[in-house]
Amino acid sequence: MPRLSYRKALTRALADEMTRDEAVFLLGEDIRVGASNVTPGLLKRFGPDRVLDTPLSEQAFTSFATGAALAGMRPVVEFQIPSLLFLVFEQIVNHAHKFPMMTGGQCAVPVTYLVPGSGSRTGWAGQHSDHPYSLFAHVGIVTVVPATPADAYGLLVSAIRHDDPVVVFAPAGALEVRDDVDFATLAPVPLGRGMVRRAGDDVTVVAVGHLVHDALAVAEELADQVSVEVFDPRTLYPFDIDALVDSVSRTGRLVVIDDSNRSCGIAAEIITSVLERVPLTAPPRRVTRPDGAVLPFSPALDRAVQPGRAALAAAIHHVTKDCP
């Protein structure tokens, strides 16, 4: 079976959607040569009118995409680094997201914002290592964080077909993941649908993005001590709370691991949403970046503020052993 990398899955999704729908076009910095390695080859296939290199004008080209969407197109905007989302938060939140409501339903703004390489890229330091998905979930923008190549393909396809703005965070830590995939089985993955990646009985671990792989590894390591269920929400907004409640109703315990900051982060939201509906056997735990984290340069320091396997294992022990 062919090996498909996460990165190539994104490229394939873009190409398939551009083939399927003339209204889909791409814009972003250096995408004609594919500097982030997600769009190589697309210029040759689809031409310069559908693969637009933009000047370094994030705010204008993000709103340009809004305008193009208002005129019936389906733009996909690629951002080279996640911090650029801070620059265009205004354009996405205040305009793209608000247009349908403010016009009383006169329009749709189907733009996809693709962020390949979000989160830490080890050694890229403070301004290149953010993972701001919680912000978008908070304002109510459809926010997806695929963990696997098949999901990267399927969620990006669904994002492009969706009639509202969608931010697709492709974590740097997942880009090199490769899976055996039968290309014929690649298909759209519905937005807002989570899945159990590994069944277990004692505790549910919710893991976001690349951390799904860490959670699976930790679950395997601890297999002789505790039976861990790993839940991958895939979409952070809207969140598949029903599926998670099902899982936690069986395990009675909850740990969330997510690569965003602690205060007002998605982990807090996930835990509260579960607690509103299910009594837990033990107090829940979350493993996140620290409050207000800025990623330090030194790889040792960078790792120290990222949620990792050791902290996850400790949290799992805490909710299972310390609160039997």
Partner 1 sequence: MTDADPARLYRTVRLIRRFEERAIALVRSGHIVGGIHPYLGQEGIAAGVCAALGDGDLVTGTHRGHGHVLAKGADPARMMAELCGRETGLNRGRGGSMHAADLSIGVLGANAIVGASPAILTGAVWAHRQRGNPVLGASFFGDGAVNEGMLLEAFNLAALWRVPVLLVCENNGYATTMPVAGAVAGTITGRAEAFGIPAVVVDGQDPEAVRQVTAAAVARMRDGGGPELVEARTYRFDAHHTFEHSVRLDYRPPQEVADGRSRDPVAIQGARLSPADRATIDAEVEATLDAAVAFALAGPEPDPAGALDHLYASGLTGRGGS
For partner 1, the binding residues (CB under 8 A) are: 25, 49, 54-55, 57, 59-73, 75, 90-91, 94-95, 99-110, 140, 142, 162-164, 192, 237-238
Residue 199: CB minimum distance to partner 1, A = 27
Answer yes or no: are the C-beta atoms of 172 and 219 closer than 8 Å: no
Residue 317: CB minimum distance to partner 1, A = 33
Q: Count each helix (H run) and each strand (E run) in the chain, helices first.
A: 13, 14
Complex with partner 1: residue 56 or 294, whichever CB lies closer: 56
Q: What angle (nearest 5°) sits at the alpha carbon of residue 309, between those of residues 288 and 197? A: 90
Burial 24-42 (b: 16+ CB within 10 A, else e): bbbbbbebbebebebbbeb
Query: What does the alpha-carbon distance between residue 225 and residue 126 come to, in Å, rounded to a whole number?
Result: 38
Answer yes or no: are the C-beta atoms of 264 and 270 closer than 8 Å: no
Residue 315: CB minimum distance to partner 1, A = 26
Complex with partner 1: residue 19 or 57, whichever CB lies closer: 57
Complex with partner 1: residue 103 or 127, whichever CB lies closer: 103
Provide the edge-to-edge strand list for the sheet that holds 51-53.
Answer: 51-53, 24-28, 74-78, 112-118, 166-171, 142-144, 235-237
Q: What is the largest CA-CA distance in the chain?
A: 61
Residue 237: CB minimum distance to partner 1, A = 8
Provide the residue type at 278 as one letter.
Answer: V
Query: What does the alpha-carbon distance between residue 77 and residue 319 come to, in Å, rounded to a whole number?
Result: 41
Complex with partner 1: residue 41 or 140, whichever CB lies closer: 140
Complex with partner 1: residue 56 or 310, whichever CB lies closer: 56
Residue 273: CB minimum distance to partner 1, A = 8
* Separation of CA 198 from chain center: 19
Complex with partner 1: residue 75 or 119, whichever CB lies closer: 75
Which among 89, 102, 96 is positioned nearest to 70, based on CA atoms? 96
- 188 exposed, middle or buried (CB, 10 Å; 0-12, 13-18, 19+)? middle
Residue 264: CB minimum distance to partner 1, A = 16
The catalytic residues are 128
